[in-house]
Amino acid sequence: MSRVSKKAKRGSNRMGSALLVAVIAGFGGMASAHAASTPLSKAVAEGKHIFIHDTFGSSRNMTCESCHKAAGMGQTVTPNGHHFPSLANAATIFPRYNKHAGRVITIEDQIRGCVARGIGGKPPAYGSKTMNALVAYLTSLSKGKPMDMGGKPK
C-alpha cells in the first residue's frame, strides 16, 4: 500500500472510531432518558409527589413536607421549638428501636406513625402502592449514605 492510501485508511479509521464514540454517547444519553422512565424511577417520583402534596385525608391540611421541609432534605424547627430532622439518611437507619413504641420498627411503621399522629391522616396500608412509593422516595434520599441501622436521623 502506498503511503497516501495508508494515511487515508488511518484517517478513515479515526473518523469511524469518532463516529462510533458519538453514536455510543448518543445511545448512552438515550439510556439515561430511558432510565428516567423505569418503574423504580416512576415510583420515586410518585413518592416525592405524595410526600409534598398528599394530606392523607387530614383535616389539618398537612403533608409530610409540612414537617420535613425541602422535600425531606431540610431540617425544620417549628415555632414551638419542635425539631424535625432531615430524612437524608432515613432509609439507612431502619429498622430501629423506638422507645415510645417499645419495639423495633421499620421505615413503613415510621411512615404510618407520622401520617397518623403528625399529619392526622389515614396511613397508607403496608404493601400499598402509596406506601411503596413513599419508601422508594425516602430510600432514594439515602442513596450513597452508609448503613447505620438503629442510628439517628441526620
In the predicted structure, residue 5 carries a pLDDT above the cut 70: no
Residue 6: which domain range?
1-36
Residues 57 and 93 grouped into a single domain: yes
User: How many structural domains comprise the chain?
Assistant: 2
Confidence (pTM): 0.74
pLDDT tens for residues 37-87?
899 999 999 999 999 999 999 999 999 999 899 999 988 887 778 888 899
∠ CA 129-135-140 to the nearest 5 degrees? 125
Same domain, 65 and 109: yes
Tens digit of each residue's pLDDT (9 = 90 or more) over 96-116: 999 989 999 999 999 999 999
Task: Return all residues near 52 (Cβ < 8 A) that are at least 6 apart.
Answer: 63, 64, 65, 71
pLDDT of residue 21: 37
Gap between the Cα atoms of 71 and 140, Å rounded? 12
**Residue 154 included in any domain:** no
